[in-house]
């Protein structure tokens, strides 16, 4: 039965609210599981450490090398969420420095001669990252090579179940400690601030950093004061309260060292307004551990590239750390987004696959057809009630059939007499449960047209009903070759025609398996399972609807594919996948700002270099007239063949 809705329009005045310039800080009201107990690693033959970033170390049997391992996540290290660059949460470069120094101290090499950062380490929103710091045997002078790698969660062997391989983020050289030049700390140990130092207004510093793409959260907002002193910058930094309690467990807390290095933005080392990050460290050492409040002097080095020398003391002038040379690099936000897509999202894609049910009961519970126990019928209702839906060849369009099923579902939920029964909605060929379900082109799985559109729409509706009312509905899809078993009646009040040929007794037996979504293919009974994709960017032919990361999609590649929000992080990732993974050659990227959006021109150039024709248009797709004009502007020679919204 159709339902009519009345729309009411209310006039109101919108109020603009200021939002934080850093990622939202989430607070859970349930107990968080504690970090793994490092002491348990000894049972696996490892030596525990007491450092928050690395939990175990292992001496190698040959070569006098060693390996340090640990795990990171936003669940166990929530303060890392405050280090977002270009909208991507990254492990700060100062954390790599901490890892290198910790590794060096474990083998008696407390001096980091060199440490070069190669690839950013993206911290995923969900899941863990495994760290591995490898230290080679010493050479004749006692120096050791070192590398830092990471891998997404679930790994075993060379790559984990999500296709995540080890990524090298940094490499360097460690050496035994050397005598430090104490004279270089004298400025910080004298009267503070020194006579002649000019204060720098930091009132809007973090707002300006956010505008440049560095959205620092509370844990990383430790820069307290700054002065210009000749060509140098002097800074004061203090660990914010929420992380200060952990200071004693670090050599120099990465958030505190990061706050010191934020002072590089006040130096003319990379041009005005150019965001920079640490790239190569030389001569790094810690003189004291566990500082909470520090002073620092940052000095520009040379004229060949952006680099600084850094000296750090505590707030009484006692030396804490030194960096003889820190090379800085500007940030390519487009490249960073690409790293986020390829690394940070790795292992986060899932698909529906169909697995065979182990055993099906010979007989099932009492059952009846829905038309025999419908809303107007009386009497008792058995445990299973079967509703037969027509396929695309059985009469009735999508709207008619889905509208009929909606009426049945609403009536089923409204009457108390149905409360103890399950409604089984039976379709034919509505889901792709295996390659036998339709023509397969060998690359992309089942081709368009192999799925019954009417039945697929019914599945979408009933899945929503299942989510809202667990245990009340079962979806069962029969293959198109199923014979006309026994059973009374034909058709259905959901709009079916005649001759459905559904064996109600067999349906009841299959439903006894207890699965909410089932498919029968020949003698096999299959149940839907949510499964992690075997490799990033790839969707298998089985249960995928025919999308594959490795081949051309003929019904898309022959025309224009429109991507809404196309200049954002997600839209750009989709556009890259369409061009590289799906063979699309004409892309229409739409956003509110269009070509004026940050990074839009770089994205256009990137996709064009890959062989695509790219148009970037400003359009509010929520405004009907704007959307009509947009669609009318698509040339007839390259018609619209796909939309990603």
- pLDDT (tens digit, 9 = 90+) per residue, 570-622? 898 899 888 877 778 899 999 999 999 988 998 998 888 888 899 999 999 99
What CA–CA distance (Å, rounded) separates 434 from 446? 9
* pLDDT of 164: 57
Residues 286-296 have a mean pLDDT of 94
3-state helix, strand, coil in the chain (%, to 5): 25, 30, 45
* pLDDT of 59: 87
Instruction: Give this prediction's pTM.
Output: 0.54
Residue 20 has pLDDT above 80, yes or no: no
Residue 444 has pLDDT above 80, yes or no: no
Largest CA distance in the chain: 99
Q: Which of 398-437 are b and which e, b meaning 16 or more Cβ less than 10 Å from the residue's Cβ?
A: eeebbbbbbbbbebbeeeeebeebbbbbbbbbbbbbbeeb
Q: Are 331 and 111 in contact (CB under 8 A)?
A: no
Residue pLDDT, tens place only, 28-69: 666 655 554 445 666 666 777 889 999 888 888 777 889 999
In the predicted model, what is the mean pLDDT of the chain?
Answer: 81
Residue pLDDT, tens place only, 420-434: 999 999 999 999 887
Residue pLDDT, tens place only, 497-555: 333 567 888 888 888 888 999 999 888 899 998 876 654 333 333 333 333 334 455 56
- The partner residues of 589 in beta bridges, in order of sequence, read 563, 616
Residue 124 has pLDDT above 90, yes or no: no
**Which residue stretches of 80-121 are H helix?**
93-106
Residue 173's CB is within 10 A of a number of other CB atoms, namely 20
Q: How many CA atoms lie within 13 A of 542 on its CB side?
A: 15
Span between the terminal Cα atoms of the chain, in Å: 31
Contacts of residue 108, Cβ cutoff 8 Å, sequence gap at least 6: 176
E-state strands within 572-612: 586-591
Per DSSP, the three-state class of 106 is helix
Residue 560 has pLDDT above 90, yes or no: yes
* pLDDT of 238: 97
* pLDDT of 499: 39
Q: Are 409 and 468 in contact (CB under 8 A)?
A: no
* pLDDT of 508: 87
* pLDDT of 162: 40
Contacts of residue 201, Cβ cutoff 8 Å, sequence gap at least 6: none
Residue 368's CB is within 10 A of a number of other CB atoms, namely 20
- The partner residues of 294 in beta bridges, in order of sequence, read 237, 314
Residue 154 has pLDDT above 60, yes or no: no
* pLDDT of 506: 84
Peptide bond into 319 cis (omega under 30): no
Q: Are 556 and 380 in contact (CB under 8 A)?
A: no
Write the DSSP symbol of residue 31: P
E-state strands within 221-287: 223-229, 232-238, 276-286
Residue pLDDT, tens place only, 192-202: 999 999 999 99
* Among the listed residues 132, 405, 149, 98, the one whose alpha carbon sits nearest the alpha carbon of residue 261: 98
Residue 204 has pLDDT above 60, yes or no: yes
Contacts of residue 315, Cβ cutoff 8 Å, sequence gap at least 6: 236, 293, 294, 295
Residue pLDDT, tens place only, 466-508: 999 999 999 999 987 654 333 333 334 444 333 356 788 888 8
Residue 106 has pLDDT above 60, yes or no: yes
Residues 100-108 have a mean pLDDT of 92
Q: Are 146 and 136 in contact (CB under 8 A)?
A: yes
Residue pLDDT, tens place only, 301-354: 865 557 899 999 999 999 999 999 999 887 766 666 666 555 545 555 677 889
Q: Are 568 and 592 in contact (CB under 8 A)?
A: no
* pLDDT of 445: 44
Residues 244-258 have a mean pLDDT of 94
């Amino acid at each position: 039965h159709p339902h009519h809705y009345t729309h009411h329009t209310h006039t109101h005045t919108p109020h603009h609210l200021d939002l934080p310039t850093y990622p939202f800080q989430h607070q859970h009201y349930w107990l968080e599981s504690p970090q793994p107990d490092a002491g348990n690693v000894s049972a696996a033959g490892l030596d525990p450490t007491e450092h928050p970033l690395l939990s175990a170390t292992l001496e190698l049997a040959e070569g006098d090398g060693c390996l340090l391992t640990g795990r990171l996540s936003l669940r166990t290290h929530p303060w890392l969420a405050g280090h977002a660059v270009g909208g991507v949460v990254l492990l700060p470069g100062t954390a790599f420095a901490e890892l290198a120094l910790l590794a060096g101290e474990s083998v008696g090499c407390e001096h980091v001669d060199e440490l070069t950062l190669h690839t950013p380490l993206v911290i995923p929103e969900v899941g863990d990252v495994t760290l591995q710091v490898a230290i080679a045997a010493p050479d004749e002078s006692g120096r050791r090579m070192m590398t830092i790698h990471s891998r997404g969660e679930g790994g075993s062997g060379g790559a984990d179940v999500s296709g995540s391989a080890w990524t090298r983020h940094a490499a360097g050289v460690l050496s035994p400690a050397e005598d430090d030049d104490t004279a270089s700390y004298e400025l910080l140990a004298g009267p503070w601030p020194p006579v002649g130092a000019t204060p720098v207004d930091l009132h809007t510093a973090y707002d300006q950093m956010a505008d440049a793409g560095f959205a620092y959260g509370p844990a990383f907002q430790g820069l307290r004061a700054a002065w210009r002193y000749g060509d140098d910058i002097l800074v004061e930094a203090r660990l914010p309260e929420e992380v200060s309690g952990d200071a004693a467990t670090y050599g120099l807390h990465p958030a505190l060292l990061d706050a010191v290095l934020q002072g590089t933005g006040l130096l003319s080392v990379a041009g005005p307004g150019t965001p920079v990050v640490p790239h190569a460290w030389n001569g790094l050492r810690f003189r004291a551990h566990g500082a909470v409040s520090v002073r620092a002097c940052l000095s520009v080095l040379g004229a060949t590239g952006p680099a600084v020398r850094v000296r750090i003391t505590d707030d009484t002038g006692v030396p804490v750390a030194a960096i003889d040379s820190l090379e800085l690099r500007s940030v390519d936000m487009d490249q960073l987004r690409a790293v986020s897509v390829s690394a940070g999202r790795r292992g986060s894609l899932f698909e529906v696959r169909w697995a065979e049910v182990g055993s099906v009961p010979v007989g099932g519970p009492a059952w009846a057809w829905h038309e025999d126990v419908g809303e107007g019928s009386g009497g008792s209702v058995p445990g299973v009630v079967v509703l037969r839906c027509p396929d695309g060849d059985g009469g009735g369009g999508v709207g008619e059939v889905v509208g009929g099923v909606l009426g049945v579902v609403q009536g089923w939920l409204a009457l108390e007499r149905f409360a103890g029964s399950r409604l089984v909605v039976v379709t034919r060929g509505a889901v792709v449960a295996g390659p036998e379900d339709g023509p397969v082109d060998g690359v992309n799985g089942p081709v368009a047209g192999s799925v019954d559109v009417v039945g697929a729409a019914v599945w979408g509706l009933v899945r929503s009903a299942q989510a809202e009312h667990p245990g009340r509905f079962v979806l069962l899809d029969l293959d198109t070759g199923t014979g006309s078993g026994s059973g009374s009646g034909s058709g259905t009040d959901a709009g079916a025609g005649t001759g459905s040929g559904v064996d109600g007794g067999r349906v009841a037996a299959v439903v006894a398996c207890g699965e909410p979504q089932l498919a029968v293919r020949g003698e096999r009974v299959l149940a839907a399972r949510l499964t992690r994709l075997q490799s990033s960017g790839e969707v298998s032919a089985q249960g995928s609807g025919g999308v594959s990361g490795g081949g051309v999609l003929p019904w898309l590649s022959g025309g224009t594919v429109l991507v809404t929000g196309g200049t954002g992080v997600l839209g750009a990732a989709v556009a890259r996948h369409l061009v590289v993974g799906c063979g699309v050659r004409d892309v229409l990227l739409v956003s509110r700002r269009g070509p004026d959006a940050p990074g839009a021109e770089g994205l256009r150039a990137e996709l064009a270099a890959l062989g695509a024709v790219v148009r970037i248009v400003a359009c509010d797709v929520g405004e009907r007239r704007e959307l009509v004009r947009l669609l009318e502007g698509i040339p007839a020679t390259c018609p619209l063949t796909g939309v990603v919204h």
